[in-house]
Structures are given as C-alpha cells and as structure tokens.
Structure 1
Amino acid sequence: MAITALSQIHDPALCARLVLKVGSALLVERGGAVRRQWLESLVAEIAAARVRGQQVVVVSSGAIALGAARLGLAQGGRANLADAQAAAAVGQIALSAVWAELLAAHGLTAAQMLVTLDDLEDRRRYLNASSTLARLLEQGAVPVVNENDSVATAEIRFGDNDRLAARVAQAAGADAVVLLSDVDGLFDRDPADPAAELVREVSGVDDTVRAMAGAGSGSGMGSGGMVSKLQAAEIAGRAGIALAIVNGTFQRALARAVEENRGTLFHAHRRDAGRKAWLGGRLAPAGVLTVDDGCASALEGGSSILAAGVVAVDGDFARGDLVAIHGRKGDRLAQGLVEYSAAECRAIAGRKAGEQAALLGYAPRSAVVHRDHMVLL
C-alpha cells in the first residue's frame, strides 16, 4: 500500500524505512554553533521511530556552515569553491561527532556516508552505496549521509541535499522522504503573501506546481530552495516513494506535522523497476536529443527513439552516456542511455534506416535510445 497521508509517515506497516533530510539553517545557528537543543529533540524522534519498528536514514547538511565558523571564513564558507571545500573538511568532523554523540545517548549507532554525484550516477557505485545502506540498516545503525563537499566541484555535485535525499531514498529502498524546511510546505504563491495557502497534497509535479515554487534559500546558509524540493519530489515519485515537506523549526517537528497534518505530501505516482528508477533519478545528462512531434507521441506508447525522429543534437557524449530527450518546445520528455556518440547522432539525425549504414560506415543499431534503456519523465 502507498502512503497517502502525512499521518502514515509514523506507520511502520506503510513506512518501514524513512529518509529524513535536515538542512543547514535548521541545524546550525548563524554564528556557526550547532542548535543542540533542537537537534536533541529531532534525535529523540528518530529514536522513537526506531522503537516503532522503523528504520531511519538521515541526510544531514551543515558541514560547510560549521567548518566556516571554525575557520573564520566569509559568507559562511561559500565565497568560493576552495573555501567551501576547506570548510566542509573541517565541519564534517564536527557534524559527524554531534550526530554520533546524540544518537549514542539513545543507544543508537551512527554511521557516516559521504557521497558525490558520480557515486549515484554510476550504476556500479550506486549499487555499492545501496548495498552499504542495506547492511547498515540491517545491523541497526542510523546512516548519516552528506555530500562529500570537500572534493565535489560544480561539475560533479548535487548542489543541494534535497535531491540527494531523494536519490539516497532510491538507493536505500525507502518508503518515504521527509524534507525538514523553514516553511510549512509548498504554498500556492509566495508565503509572504497573506493570501498564500498551503498546498497539502500534490499528486504530480507539473508546470502549475512548478510555478508555485520560488528559487533560493531564505536563510543564506543552505543551497536549496523550493525548486530543488520539487525536483526531489519528482525523483522520489517515479521510484514509488512519497515525499513530504514539513516545517522543521519546531521542537518535535515530525510529530507536529503528523498530528496536525501540517505540511505538503507528494504522492508517489508510479514505481519504476530498479534500473529504470535509477535512470529516472540521474541528474547529469551529457547531452540533449530533440525529437519531432511524431517521435514524442510514440514515446508515450513505449517506442524507442529512432534516428528519423531526431531533429537536433546538443552536447558532446559517447555511446552509453545519459542523454535527455526534449520535444520541439524544449519540454523534458525522457532520458536514457544513447547508442551512438554525439557526432554519429548528428550524422544520422532525421535519416531513415536505409540511409544510415552509408553515413556510419557500419550497420545501424536498432535505435538511438532503446526503450529498455530509457525512462519517461
């Protein structure tokens, strides 16, 4: 059975495995100290979930904010990449130490996992991460996951822990993700507007829902905003995982959200098989194939992408790389693993099968992107 209400987040029969994301603004004061009393309250809730029979994975921000304070770096350690990496290296030690200490007070063992975008984009490394998470949970540990900001660069990083939480949920086989925010959830307009109303349930993220999201983080310490949370909801939803945005600024934040039904719940709208879910959650396509209207319609019926339907090729990619599939108006239709390099795709784009051998110098493959290696978005 799927999770259809916030109250079910506490039900181990429906939510046996929960991913809980904690942002920097909630965990760290502006001066760089851990909000210890607040964190103790949250850890007590994690311990209560364990007593109920639930397994919990924590995705915790805060390393850069903590490290920047200790190193005396300007702009919270985010003035430049070197500062952020140095702050993360110092702050991660403090972050893991406080989680380990507070969880140990409840008889729980903390386990640290640091990942980069590549760790979850590469299929083999993704499976390794999945196996590690599974073993830790089996042994009763509480994995505390963060992006490895000390080595990540702009090209190989998530950039926010909202999307990381959704990808970790996939790898962990979780039933739900809770993103603790500094607002009650998604509002139908700017929350500062007195007429704004909380959107309590979302069945699917479409253009109307995206229009409700404003970019940026209000605290100045984090890197995510409502846009990244919607992207996380899309990743989770395709994998059959419910996602909730709730206000984490309160003591007993989870209990408050569940008891008062206060937050936004994004329903899981499908459950792709393991490899398809991994494909759908990947975030770094190497290029874009634009297809004509006939090809776009055929995708809905389960067709592969043939060269004849490709009208434009962007990017520099090799065979086996991830590419995004766009319609003529730039709308995201799908993504998948391409069977040709970018140069080969440009050579055969728009051409019938009978023309391709002469252009390629070898017999063409059955598709540019085969349906077995593609997921609709």
Structure 2
Amino acid sequence: MTKLITGVEIRTCFGESEATFEALAEGRSGAGELRHVDSGRLGVNRGYHVEDAPDEALLRASEWLSDCVASAVAQSGIDVMRARVAVVVGTGLRELRAVERLDEPGITLRTAQLHFTEAVRQVLPDATEVITVCNACSASGHALALACDMLDLDEADAVVAAGCDAMTESMLAMIGRVSDEPTDQLRPFDDERMGVLLGEGAAAVVLERGDRPRTGRGPVLGKVLGVGLSCDAFHETAPQPVGIARAMRDAHERAAVTPGDVDLVVAHATGTALNDPTEARVLSEVFATAAPGPVVTGIKGSTGHTSGSAALMSVAVALQALAGRPVPAITGLRRPLPEAEPLRLVIGAPATVPVRVAQVNAFGFGGVNAVCMIGGAS
C-alpha cells in the first residue's frame, strides 16, 4: 500500500527547510568552529551547528524536534482532535548531551526527558502514542519503516516519522580518535577525504494511507514506495557490502521497482575511509544493469553528519528533486575516489534531470541499514 507524504520539515545548520534547500543549491558548507565544548581536548575543532541561543539549552534536540513535528503536521492539514495520529522518532543519541552536562551546577534531568515523548506532546498533545527508536545513523529511516507498518496495520490514520540529534562530547571525542589530524570539511566520495564531521538537527514527515479518503487537507508532496532494512551485525563500525546491498534490494522489491526505474540516489556518503568506497561499490553493483544509472548526490558535505535525522533530511531533499528542483551537487567533492568513478555523481553544479523515483541510503553502526524509496506526488 502506498503511503502519501503530506507534510515535511527539517532543521539544519542553515535553518529551516527552505533555507537549507537554498544552501544546498548554492553548494555552501555549514561547517564552523565548535561551540559548547573544549575542542582542543577532543581533537575536533569544527562541526555543523544549528544556530540557536548562545547559551547551550539543555534539551536542544527536543526543541528542534518539537518545531519540526508541529510544522509538518500543520502542513498536512490533519485535524489532530479527530484523527488517530502517532509519532515515531528515530535517534542515534537521544538527549545524551544533557547527560554529559549533569556535573554542571544547577543542571537537573529526569530520565523521561532522554526520550522524546514529552517534547512531542508539547506540540501534539493528542498523539495516540510516541515511540522513540535508537538505531544509530539510520534511525529516522527505521522510523519511516515503522510508520509505514503502523499504517498497514491500521494502528493510526496518520503517522509522523521524525528524527533528531544534537552533537555530544562523547561522539566528538570518538571521531577525534580516529583521524590523524582534525578534519576541516566533510568531503563525500572525495579521494582526499579526511573523515566525518558531525552535524545536528531534526526532521519530520507526515504519512497518510493512500488507499482511503485523506485525513488531512494539505497537498500531497510525495509517496513512500517502500523501505528496505537489514542488520548484518558485521562489525561495530565498519560497513559490510552484503548487508548494504541486501537493504537496497529489499527496498526495490518492497517498492516494486527495478534498478532501471531509479532516477536519483541520495547517498549516505559520510566522507569516511570505509563508508564511501563501500557504498560506491555497492551502488555500482546494484545498478550495473541500469545504464546509464541514477544520478548520485549526498548532503553531508553541506550539513555534516546529522546522525539520527540524516535519513529523513535526505528524504526531504529527494522530495524537492521529485517536485522538479535541480538535484544539488555534492559539496566538498573535488576529485572522486576510484570506486565512485563509475557513478553519475553530481559535481560542481546542480543537475537538472527528471526524477520520478528516488532512493535514499542510510547506514548505521553495527550494520543497521535503511534504504527508502520515494516517489513523486502524481
């Protein structure tokens, strides 16, 4: 059963949705100096921060999530007093940054605030249920899959799939340990990439069933054709080609499409030593019989790696391409790595190509993979 997308909102280092789409079209990078932490001690000095108050709010991710959910639901035109509306939030870290700050004077935290039920109910008090899933960097892709399942099972009239994460000192320390020198900019698929940099933000999309009268009054923005999942548990951090390929083929089967039907891939493309060549090889394999193959882009060179919200941010970009906007170029990509040379990478300037079906890749630690197939509104 096709699921209609009737609302979408994202928050990135550039601001809300439209500001983000404009920045992507212009090839801008949102990387800047780290705030709120001791960068010298961490071995990381840059990141892609959401611009908010100078003083670090305790529950920043919850604030962005609330804003995105409220905006997406308003776009959908759903009467939340009459319809059964559920919310699924994907996250990699929940509110871990708040836990890290518990030794600061005056900081208190309740366990319930680590999840996102309270944040969602601030703007959607009549939600039938709020579920938080913690599935690493593919979390919001898994939230989208669960949202589709809930609609299939008639557990809701509409489901908001969402994702959010804020930077944490713990994750920054980890990436600082695996780089020989601090990374200046995330460079997806680039032969001279130096590693990942963290971003932060939130995203939300509203789904309704496509086989019954609409719950909301807003326009249909696109469709979820299917979401493919895999969990290969190959390694704590290293990706496995077999598991990634399995998720892609599962997505194509669920969406009832062939590789030749896919016009655009919004890649995971983290700018890391292992992910980029692995993803490039798998894309070349899966689309080997689909010449000339889809155009391939990725947004993390502009937004940083936004962890739990990354999949749905890429879905929002795919929806723009499906609506006729040019496909943004890959910010930071100058010379493709050898494994990516067979791909139709969007380099240097946006690509004006017809897009009817888009694929969105999201891969997480432990081989937790989600691949979303998105179609246009018509």
TM-score, normalising length from structure 1? 0.30
User: Relative contact order, CA 8 A, sep 6+: which one is greater?
Assistant: 2
State which structure, 1 or 2, has the greater radius of gyration over its C-alpha atoms: 1
